[in-house]
Amino acid sequence: MTDHTERGWLRTGPDVVAYDGFVRVVQRPLALPDGREAVWDVIDNPATVSVLALTGDDRVVMVRQFRPGAERMVLSLPGGLVDTGEDPVSAGLRELREETGYHSTAVSLVASVDPPSHTRPRHTVFARDCALVGDQHLDELEDIEVVLVTITELRVQLSTGRLGTTEQIYLALDHAGLL
């Protein structure tokens, strides 16, 4: 148990697992600055990574897949979980290769964002000069279509609010000077 006394917030006990399925939810007891106590639901999943992968002809490698929460096909950046002990850039390259068959040797970490209701960060990676090097190697429950879009098309899609990784796309495009 970690004490966080920022502005008077204090953890008052250990996390209790409320649900442990594809998503793990824990309940975290906290004392508020005014002395009241509350239990907050927090998503306790591994860190994730998303990759904005740009090909040599300036197209973005994206993935389209069914997302149960949205109940529709969603276009997003390739990505997934960061394995224990794995750095975000290596995880991003692994996920890019597995989900799309693309690879890059020019990769950088853009940002690591701490979502307010999660226990671990969402990393964003930018990869230049991506090339198709092989077939997809999908996990058992993955059904992914690789889609290449231009930067202009991506900007149009961003304005719809229907992309799966909007925050990560904005961070990566800003990092690359492509907004």
Would you state the pLDDT for residue 5? Answer: 58
3 state SS of 76 = strand
Model confidence at 2: pLDDT above 80:
no
The architecture of the domain spanning 48-175 is Alpha-Beta Complex (3.90)
User: pLDDT, tens digit, for every residue of 160-170?
Assistant: 999 999 999 99
3 state SS of 121 = coil
Model confidence at 1: pLDDT above 50:
no
Q: Which helix (H) or strand (E) holds 153?
A: helix 151-158
Amino acid, res. 103:
H
End-to-end CA distance of the chain: 41
User: pLDDT, tens digit, for every residue of 55-80?
Assistant: 999 999 999 999 999 999 999 999 99
Model confidence at 45: pLDDT above 70:
yes
Class of residue 22 by CB neighbours under 10 A (exposed 0-12, middle 13-18, buried 19+) = exposed
CB-CB contact of 133 with 100 (8 Å): no
- Ranges in the chain annotated CATH 3.90.79.10: 48-175
User: pLDDT, tens digit, for every residue of 25-35?
Assistant: 999 999 999 99
Torsion 153-159-165-170 (CA) sign: positive
Give the pairing type, strands 59-67 and 72-76: antiparallel
